[in-house]
Amino acid sequence: MHIEVSNLNKHFGDFHAVKDVNFEIEKGHLIGLLGPSGGGKTSILRMLAGLENLDSGEIRFHGELVNELPPQERGIGFVFQNYALFKHMTVFENIAFGLKVKKMPKTKVMERVMELVELTGLKGFEKRYPHQLSGGQRQRVAFARALAPEPQLLLLDEPFAAIDAKIRQELRTWLRDLIERVGITSIFVTHDQDEAIEVADEIMIINHGRVEQKGTPWDIYKEPKTPFVATFIGESTVIEDASKLKGFEKAGKILGTRALIRPEYIEVGHDNEFILMSATEEGIIRHLHFRGSEWLVEVEVVGHKLNTYRSLEKETLRIGEKVRVLVHRAYLFN
Ligand code: ATP
């Protein structure tokens, strides 16, 4: 379903929670709404679902205005963090629920549920009750239940927030694959930038009720439009006046007079590791975090704390020692 939202506004009392939000979503795309707590992500989702009234603005599905359409007529499926399954129903009955409400004939229900069971990898679990499933399996049932009535839009509000890190990682890949196979337009809310980057076709960064930036994860990472976006997506430090640092004059993506320095932009090391020392700044190692496959190094350069990585084969650095800090040529801009 193609979605178009224009000039969306929402107040809660005096509080302006959603401010003139505009966006368009292409049919079949998976969009991640990412941003700090209280930014307005859930409010936007609830207005799309028809669960919250809007103060002003227009929501169009397939070009048609749906502002007044009740939730059950919008053709939407939901998976929420706490959208619990029916405890007294089996996996089969949970998935079949929306189809029975629609008065689908029994044989059709059977067919559709088995299709969903197959699609979500739940074969063999049909007769189990929710308490006999793991958290990840329960969430897969929730997806199957949401998809069963063939909605045209899927809304996901932190669907994996309550699940262990390792299973969450597996579910992300699983979700990406599922959405691709079903080809359904989907919007998911998350706090987790890694999740958004990995799963979404496009990310919308929501902050203080506004869309700060919308684009592919790659575009947003490479070309953040505001310092907020730059620091929210990926690790980075913003240097207010890069011209004062030797070798940093053209460093990073410039945001006005500022330079954005990400860990992969720079390298630290001892004098003998660099050939062209004239173009380097001096720094002091402040922290070293062992990350298994490499070191994460925090280096202080003229009062700025920058992070970078260092491979394990190289000489080990020590906290407090002086090092050279070099900006990789690929990250120098004119
Ligand atoms: P989170 O990531 O914490 O879920 P969010 O980005 O989804 O946050 P919303 O839940 O949309 O943010 O809330 C946006 C703002 O509106 C918050 O400041 C919140 O306190 C406020 N708000 C949301 N719902 C209501 C309500 N029913 N009544 C009053 N204020 C509300």
pLDDT tens digit sequence for 203-244: 999 999 999 999 999 999 888 888 889 888 888 888 888 888
DSSP structure string for 118-149 = HHTT-TT-TT--GGGS-HHHHHHHHHHHHHTT
Q: What is the DSSP letter of 14?
A: T
Average pLDDT, the chain: 91
pLDDT at position 50 over 70: yes
pLDDT tens digit sequence for 84-101: 799 999 999 999 999 998
Q: Are 43 and 59 in contact (CB under 8 A)?
A: no
pLDDT at position 72 over 70: yes
pLDDT of residue 51: 93
pLDDT of residue 334: 64
Percent of the chain with pLDDT over 90: 71
Backbone angles phi, psi at 206, to 5 degrees: -110, 125
pLDDT of residue 272: 85
Q: Which ligand 1 atom is at minimum distance from the Cα of 46?
A: 11
pLDDT of residue 214: 96
* pLDDT interval class at 297 (50, 70, 90): very high
Ramachandran bin of 162, using left for φ above 0, alpha for ψ from -120 to 50, beta for the remaining angles? alpha
pLDDT of residue 83: 59
Cβ count near 296 (within 10 Å): 15
Q: Which ligand 1 atom is at minimum distance from the Cα of 40?
A: 11
What is the arrangement of strands in the sheet containing 3-12, beginning at the earlier edge strand?
Answer: 15-25, 3-12, 56-61, 64-65
The full set of domains in the chain, from first to last, is: 3-227 (3.40.50.300), 238-331 (2.40.50.140)
Maximum alpha-carbon separation in the chain: 78
| Torsion, Cα of 240, 241, 246, 250 (10° steps) | 90
Q: Residue of the nearest CA to atom 16 in ligand 1?
A: 17
Please give the model's pTM, rounded to 2 decimal places. Answer: 0.84
pLDDT of residue 191: 86
Q: Residue of the nearest CA to atom 18 in ligand 1?
A: 38
Question: What ipTM is given for this predicted complex?
Answer: 0.94
Q: Are 251 and 265 in contact (CB under 8 A)?
A: yes
Tokens of 96: 């079949």
The residue-averaged pLDDT of 239-264 equals 82
Could you tell which of 11, 33, 42 is best to mutate to test the pocket of ligand 1, judged by most ligand atoms within 8 Å of the CB?
42
